[in-house]
A and B are shown apart, each in its own frame.
Chain A
Amino acid sequence: MNIRDSKAEALFKKINTVFLCIVAVLCVLPLVHVLALSFSSSRAAGAGIVTLWPKEFTLEAYNYAIGRSQFWRSMGISLSRILVGLPVNMVLTVLTAYPLYMYSRSFKARNFYAWFFFITILFNGGLVPTYMVVSMTGIRDTLWALILPTAVPVFNIILLLNFFRRLPKEISESAYMDGASHLRILFQIFIPLSKPALATLILFVFVFHWNSWFDGLIYMNSSENYPLQTYLQNIVVARDFEMYSSATAEELKALAEVSDRTTKAAQIFIAAFPILIIYPYLQKHFVKGIVVGSIKG
């Protein structure tokens, strides 16, 4: 009985492992294929002979991509958006999480403020009113349109305040008794103790800013001011889209033959590159941040 059981179990384990490996491979195959395309000649791509390894290896697609001045402009806008947006998000997160971490017995207005921020998760004015406010405040077509409307990341604030609440209370309480100011407690006690949580939040914000494309699309009047993801969206998606809307089925098929496939593939990978570089860190910290921060008990 036992022997048969363990035999069946061993068989299950093998099948299980093979199945999981197949699924895992399927998950990355599309990426590998398009990466192979990006390093192939446009002739090979057009002939459809590229599968998972570059055919007629060449960097021509990458050369083409980085030879466009708009590419560099958009890259610059993406980088400056991170350079400015990340500190803005983080400073506001830290400054807001601290007062909200307190209990209402020591900070009476705490619950009022907490609801004030939380309501923005529950309800929003929608696309048009937000768009109009961005216009009215005069930041359309500037870098600030990509930063100010999302400057207060309420979800991250909640994660951080929950993290603060799990820090040992004795230190901050005794510091408070000794007359330390709130700012001092925040900067000299809380921040040093919260480095892992802050690292996670920095990764969140980095990925958020790097991947955002929609705000660029609607708030920038001229495509010159698009950040990289919006620029990519314009190349890979929108241009096809315009042609789709008037084409017949036959024309659509013909259109799909046109081989700017390799240059699109190259640009997709350039835009994915920073994420791939920090992927080991993302993998390590992302879930930890969520699990530790939001789910209690």
Chain B
Amino acid sequence: MKALPSAKAKRNVPLHLMLLPAVILVLIYNYIPMLGVVMAFQRYIPGRGLFGSPFTGLDNFKYVFGLSGFTSAVRNTVFIAFIKMVTGIVVPVTFALLLNEVRAKKTKKIIQTMIYLPFFLSWVILAGILRDILSPSTGIVNKFLMLFTDESVYFLANAGIFPWVIIITHIWKEFGYATIIYLATLTTIDPALYEAAMIDGAGRLSQTWHVTIPGIAPIVILLSVLSLGQILNAGFDQVFNLYNFSVYSTGDILDTFIYRISLDNLQFAIGTAVGLFRSVVSFVFVVASYWLADKLTDYRVF
């Protein structure tokens, strides 16, 4: 009996070997950068590197927290991410429920095909399209609006409008995908439940209320809870490709702020400090969201 564990361990050697390449790559490109965050506590001097640069405690953080750009970036990030979270649940659930009422299979399929397409295109492509159609002078959206008013709207340079452009175009890209997930869940509801409801005299509306909605509630709750982890993720790809200096007050988010500080201004230590702040807060939210998802719906990642 004693020989058994070691025989098993021997047979498991290939398993370790199979994991080895991925372990090495993750160590280098994911774990070493995690050590690199010590830069956030240093006055980084490129010539001296990570080990030679002097430690300055929390000076970088004190400096960052005092920047007005930082405070507004945090505020904008949370605002945009929060509205995206809420609309990211409400819009696709509503759309899926409405689409579920369409009985003509072909129509349903065509609608799905059309709303799902933008999801697969990169923000570079979509931003290219949006910059064209939203242009104040030549854009087709303003051409259309001019039928009713005389003043064109500069959607991408008006600080009051910009966050809403971000939110609406985000819905445009993402809602088709979520709608299709919810639709797929709707098809798993047992038809016997609808029959039973009908025998009890339930109309369409009350069937939706008593059968359909409880049927998709678990996955709606799960996806909502998981989206909590995204509270500091306002969408770098999207904002970066659509914003400009005139909308920094409402449109600059943490990730774009980090980018400009780090790679435009080359303030590596400051950029790392803001990045660390973002990573730590996100970590707390992501862990909390997984914990909640496990408590509420028994969801396990692996």
In the complex, chain A residues 7-24 whose Cβ is within 8 Å of any chain B Cβ: 9, 12-13, 16-17, 19-21, 23-24
Which segment of B81-89, B114-122, B191-199 sits at the interface? B114-122
Question: Which of the residues B222, B275, B276, B279 comes within 8 Å of A295, measured between beta carbons?
Answer: B222
Q: Are A264 and B15 interface neighbours, CB within 8 A?
A: no
Contact B111 A24, beta carbon cutoff 8 Å: yes
List B contacts of A288 (CB < 8 A): 184
Interface segment among A53-61, A64-72, A252-260: the answer is A252-260
Asked if B180 and A287 make an inter-chain contact with CB atoms under 8 angstroms apart, the answer reads yes
Cβ-defined contact, B283 with A125, below 8 A: no
What is the distance, in angstroms, from B200's C-beta to the closest C-beta of chain A? 15
Assess the B25–A152 pair: CB atoms within 8 A: yes
How many Å lie between the Cα of A283 and that of B118 in the bound state? 11
Size category of the A interface is 35 or more
Query: Contact partner of B244 among A96, A149, A213, A241, CB < 8 A?
Result: A241
In the assembled complex, the Cα of A146 lies from the Cα of B152 at a distance in Å of 41
In the bound assembly, the distance between CA atoms of A259 and B272 in angstroms comes to 41
Smallest distance from the beta carbon of A65 to chain B beta carbons, Å? 13
Which residues does chain B contribute within 8 Å of A16, judged by CB atoms?
98, 101-102
- Give every chain A residue within 8 A of B190 (Cβ-Cβ): none
Question: Which residues of chain B (224-272) have a CB below 8 Å from chain A?
Answer: 236-237, 240-241, 244-246, 258-259, 262-263, 268, 271-272
The one of A95, A181, A287 that contacts B184, using a Cβ cutoff of 8 Å: A287
- Cα(A282)–Cα(B299), bound, Å: 26
B204: Cβ under 8 A from any A Cβ? yes
Which residues of chain A come closer than 8 Å to B185, judged between CB atoms? 291
Chain A residues whose CB sits within 8 angstroms of the CB of B101 once the complex forms: 12-13, 16
Q: Is the CB of B124 within 8 A of A158?
A: no
Once the chains bind, are A114 and B181 in contact (CB under 8 Å)? no
A218 to B107, CA, bound (A): 44
Q: Chain A contact residues: over half helix, strand or loop, or mixed?
A: helix
Q: Is the CB of A182 within 8 A of B18?
A: yes
Query: Are B15 and A99 in contact, with the CB atoms below 8 A?
Result: yes
- Digitize A260-282: 1 where CB-to-B-CB distance is under 8 Å, 0 elsewhere: 01001101100110010001001
- Chain A nearest CB, measured from B238 CB (Å): 11
Q: How many Å lie between the Cα of A24 and that of B179 in the bound state?
A: 12
Of B27-35, B51-59, B68-76, B209-217, the segment with at least 4 beta carbons within 8 Å of chain A is: B27-35
Chain A residues with Cβ below 8 Å from B124 are: 211, 213, 229-230, 232-233, 236-237, 271
**What's the least CB distance linking A225 to chain B, in Å?**
17
B298 to chain A: which residues have CB within 8 Å?
297
Given A31-B117, A213-B122: A128 touches B272 (CB 8 Å cut-off): yes
Q: Shortest distance in angstroms between A288's beta carbon and chain B's nearest beta carbon?
A: 8
Report if A170 contacts B (CB, 8 A): no
- A149 → B minimal CB distance (Å): 4
B290 to chain A, nearest CB (A): 8
**Given the contacts A27-B172, A128-B272, A92 and B36 also touching, CB distance less than 8 Å:** no
B259 x A107 contact (CB < 8 A): no
For A230, what are the chain B residues with a Cβ–Cβ distance below 8 Å? 124
Interface contact B28-A137, CB-CB below 8 Å: yes
Check A3 for interface membership: any CB of B closer than 8 A: no
- Asked if A48 meets B143 with Cβ closer than 8 Å, knowing A123-B34, A271-B125, the reply is yes
Contact of A236 among B31, B128, B246 (CB under 8 A): B128
The interface residues of chain B lying within 8 Å CB-to-CB of A84 are none
Using CB atoms, name the residue of chain A closest to B243: A241
8 contacts between A and B (CB under 8 A): A20-B111, A30-B129, A108-B9, A130-B36, A182-B12, A237-B124, A261-B132, A295-B299
B residues lining the A interface (CB < 8 Å): 8-9, 11-12, 14-16, 18-19, 21-23, 25-26, 28-37, 39, 95, 98-99, 101-104, 107, 110-118, 120-122, 124-125, 127-133, 135-140, 143, 154, 157, 172, 176-177, 180-181, 184-185, 203-204, 219, 222, 236-237, 240-241, 244-246, 258-259, 262-263, 268, 271-272, 275-276, 278-279, 283, 286-287, 298-302
Residues of A whose CB lies within 8 Å of any CB of B are 5, 9, 12-13, 16-17, 19-21, 23-25, 27-28, 30-31, 33-34, 37, 45-46, 48, 51, 92, 95-96, 98-100, 102, 106-109, 113-114, 116-118, 120-134, 137, 148-149, 151-152, 157-158, 161-162, 181-183, 207, 210-214, 218, 229-230, 232-233, 236-237, 240-241, 244-245, 249, 252-253, 256-257, 259, 261, 264-265, 267-268, 271-272, 275, 279, 282-283, 286-288, 290-291, 294-297
Q: State the 7 A-B residue pairs at the shortest beta-carbon distance, nearest first.
A: A129-B36, A125-B33, A126-B275, A211-B122, A129-B33, A236-B128, A24-B114
